[in-house]
Amino acid sequence: MTATYEPFTPAGSPEPRRGQDRYTDRYDDRYADDGLRRPEDPWAGQQQRSWEEPGPVWAETSFAEPRWAEPQTPPSSPAPAYAAPASPAPGYPAPSAPVPGYAAPGPASYPAPGYATTGYSNPGYPPAGYPAAAYETPMAAPEPRGSRMSGLAVAGRAKPLIMVLVLLLLGVTGWQAYRIETMIKSSNDLASAVAGEQDRSAELEKALTNVFDPEGISSATLPSVFRVRAGDFTGTAFSVGTKAADGTANLFTNFHVVEELFKTGARTVTLERGSTRISATIIKVNQAKDLALLRAKQEIKPIAVAPGQVKPGQQVVVVGAPLGLDDTVTTGVISAFREDDSDGPTIQFDAPINPGNSGGPVVNTSKQVVGLATAKARDAEGIGLAIPIATACATFNVC
């Protein structure tokens, strides 16, 4: 910094008037306002007067005049209007480092060097001996106490919470697995129950099938049964089998029903049911087995054929035209199955039959034909005979 020196004034120069600059003969308002005079130039070799005030003049001091040191001013800064003391006055303590932010006591027009002032612009400060960082750099914020310990405490509290969440998830997973296992077991039990119910339903259906229902049996078989008119003789015929050609039907009856017409060389018979009249032709006959095969040029619903042999006690319905009365139904049971009869295997039943029932179907509770009613015992009641349906199917191969 460049030190500014005041010009040398010879001894014995007149004192400036109040408020007048002793070096330039100009008035200085600063000194005029506060009533103080600037000290005399220490270089003039004169003793410094204490201060001039209006009124009495103070006596001169007996101690040595203090020497003032010029402050170091940056080249770009203007020179201060006054000189700074080079060393503190004797008998007074040296000023300590200024405290930023506090104003130094003293006259408002003479701020003490090294102290911050309020409302006063001094381009020569801070002093050269003090680093600028002390005035410009703010203090770093101290690290909050307990921050590291707080993080550890939070981590310590989080561990039990995580363990609780893990245990909760495990519990929920176990409960879901238990529920799934229970549902699977329930499904298996339900499937077993359904299977059992199906078995019971099958058994019940079978039992209901064996229930004797003459009305149902008659309703199912009557459309397939006709009265046969062959010349002067009448009997019964029914549609059977599935091997008839399209637009035709195969029917069974007894040979003795068409025997007289057949022996005359005629082959045409009439099928009657109510007002319905259908013409049929004698295709084949077996006199030894008392069987005849008719074919009608019209589709007629066949009756299903029962598999196996009949058993005594089974209930049956006999459908025919006794004495020419079509759509007649009688009921009974299978009395016996005579496999070694002289005329071949024979079914004995107790349902009432009369002339005209010959060739009619004997139907079981499953609405299946088991035989052809053929004859009845003379002078006896409840003894009817039938040819097994298996014999007729094997004879003509149309079932």
Confirm whether 163 is domain-assigned: no
Confirm whether 190 is domain-assigned: no
Range with top average pLDDT, 82-86, 97-101, 286-290: 286-290
Three-state SS letters, 119-172: CCCCCCCCCCCCCCHHHHCCCCCCCCCCHHHHHHHHHHHHHHHHHHHHHHHHHH
Nearest residue to 235 via CA among 262, 215, 214: 262
Q: Where residue 279 sits, what CATH number does that domain have?
A: 2.40.10.120
Give the pTM.
0.52
Q: Among 136, 159, 184, identify where a domain stops.
A: 136
The secondary structure of residue 282, as a DSSP letter, is E
Nearest residue to 392 via CA among 344, 348, 320: 344
pLDDT at 151: 64
For residues 318 and 100, give the distance between their C-alpha atoms in angstroms, rounded to a whole number. 135
pLDDT at 159: 83
CB distance 82 to 98 below 8 Å: no
Confirm whether 179 is domain-assigned: no
pLDDT at 321: 96
200-254 tens-digit pLDDT: 887 777 776 668 899 999 999 999 999 999 999 999 999 999 888 889 999 999 9
Confirm whether 168 is domain-assigned: no
Q: Which residue range(s) make up the domain with 106?
A: 1-136
CA–CA distances in Å: residue 146 to residues 159, 284, 335 = 20, 119, 111
Q: Among 117, 136, 155, identify where a domain stops.
A: 136
What average pLDDT does the segment 362-368 reach?
96
Q: How many domains does the chain have?
A: 2
Nearest residue to 280 via CA among 289, 272, 271: 271
Flag whether pLDDT at 283 surpasses 90. Answer: yes
Percent of the chain predicted with pLDDT > 70: 60
Confirm whether 207 is domain-assigned: no
Chain-wide mean pLDDT for the chain? 77
pLDDT at 203: 78
Kindly state whether residues 280 and 132 are assigned to the same domain.
Answer: no
> 363 pLDDT band (50/70/90 cuts)?
very high
CB distance 114 to 97 below 8 Å: yes
The secondary structure of residue 26, as a DSSP letter, is -
CB distance 224 to 209 below 8 Å: no
What average pLDDT does the segment 127-146 reach?
56
Q: Among 136, 162, 181, identify where a domain stops.
A: 136
Q: Where are the beta strands (DSSP E) in the chain?
A: 225-230, 233-239, 249-253, 268-273, 276-286, 291-296, 304-305, 315-320, 328-338, 346-349, 361-364, 368-376, 384-388
CB distance 369 to 240 below 8 Å: yes
Confirm whether 313 is domain-assigned: yes
For residues 345 and 314, give the distance between their C-alpha atoms in angstroms, rounded to a whole number. 17
378-393 tens-digit pLDDT: 888 899 999 999 999 9
pLDDT at 118: 46
pLDDT at 31: 47
Confirm whether 96 is domain-assigned: yes
Give yes or no for a cis peptide into 126 (omega within 30° of 0): yes
What average pLDDT does the segment 10-26 reach?
51
Tokens representing 338? 């005579």
Confirm whether 186 is domain-assigned: no
> 287 pLDDT band (50/70/90 cuts)?
very high
